[in-house]
């Protein structure tokens, strides 16, 4: 079983340096995958209300036999639940489906600027944290403008912004803005989305040079850019390999050689994407 190092969020909460993503796993497959991931050594599990698998994630955590405090659980607020009161009710529903008394990290999944309700949701999340129902609060897919609005209106900057990030979309400018605001970068789709990233010649060459897989090279790139990758896989073999990225390092030149592969985003644009 691999051991994952920990790191501190800006609010002082300790978190694993790599997590396990659960989208689009569903039903018994989701439960089995999460249980297998926990057995392999993953200690951060990432889900969302919109994934429809919170109950399965909760059952897997319970079945693992691990103490609750040893598993870092993240879930996310869906678009249909934006707004102060709706957010409070949505969190209660998520916690019930997960079968837990608290969630370690609660994120606003998308800003949905057309609704103009994410600031009200943020106020509710601050309240949930103050009540001890959530240990840390953050956002996902937010731009700098969205982040700054939350801080300006509430005085509280998100601890985390979980964003699409991989060598085909390295997000250099946004990562710089995160660092300036003391916001942790988490990476969804850290291995790309079937867009040929893992067969890029430079990725394959680095994997051969270090005696690792192409996926391990890319995940190590995230770690060296001070981001927390959240890979997902239905394959036990790949899950274990994705976790085994702490025994080697890329040089600055090698890291830079991956960062120049930029093509653009594959997921939604935070200014226009709507998720309900």
Q: What integer pLDDT is reported at residue 194 of this predicted model? A: 82
| pLDDT at position 234 | 84
Per-residue model confidence (pLDDT) at position 200: 98
Instruction: Provide the pLDDT for residue 193.
Output: 87
Q: Where are the domains of the chain?
A: 6-194+226-233
Q: Which residues are catalytic?
A: 51
pLDDT at 261: 97
pLDDT tens digits for range 127-153? 999 999 999 999 999 999 999 999 999
| C-alpha–C-alpha distance, residues 33 and 234, integer Å | 6
Judge: domain 6-194+226-233, CATH 3.20.20.100: yes
Tell me the C-alpha distance between 91 and 94, whole Å.
Answer: 5
Where the chain has pLDDT below 70, the residues are: 1
Measured torsion, CA atoms of residues 133, 15, 53, 29, in degrees rounded to the nearest 10: -150
Per-residue confidence (pLDDT) for residue 9, from 0 to 100: 96
163 neighbors 184 (Cβ within 8 angstroms): no
């Amino acid at each position: 079983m691999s051991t994952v190092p920990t790191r501190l969020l800006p609010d002082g909460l300790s978190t694993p340096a790599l997590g396990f993503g659960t989208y689009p796993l569903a039903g018994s497959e989701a439960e089995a995958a999460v249980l297998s991931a926990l057995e392999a050594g993953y200690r951060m599990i990432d889900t969302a209300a919109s994934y429809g698998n919170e109950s399965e994630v909760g059952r897997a955590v319970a079945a693992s036999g691990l103490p609750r405090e040893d598993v870092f659980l993240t879930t996310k607020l869906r678009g249909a639940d934006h707004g102060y009161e709706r957010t409070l009710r949505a969190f209660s529903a998520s916690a019930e489906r997960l079968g837990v008394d608290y969630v370690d990290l609660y994120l606003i999944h998308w800003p949905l600027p057309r609704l103009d309700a994410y600031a009200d949701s943020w106020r509710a999340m601050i309240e949930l944290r103050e009540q001890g129902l959530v240990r840390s609060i953050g956002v996902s897919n937010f731009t700098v403008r969205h982040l700054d609005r939350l801080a300006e209106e509430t005085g509280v900057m998100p601890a985390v912004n979980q964003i699409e990030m991989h060598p085909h979309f390295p997000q250099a400018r946004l990562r710089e803005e995160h660092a300036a605001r003391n916001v942790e970068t988490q990476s969804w789709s850290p291995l790309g989305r079937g867009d040929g990233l893992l067969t890029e010649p430079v990725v394959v060459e680095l994997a051969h040079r270090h005696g690792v897989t192409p996926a391990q090279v890319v995940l190590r790139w995230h770690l060296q850019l001070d981001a927390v990758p959240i890979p997902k896989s239905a394959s036990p073999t790949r899950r274990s390999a994705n976790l085994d990225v702490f025994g080697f390092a890329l040089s600055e030149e090698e890291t830079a050689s991956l960062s120049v592969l930029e093509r653009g985003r594959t997921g939604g644009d935070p200014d226009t994407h709507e998720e309900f």
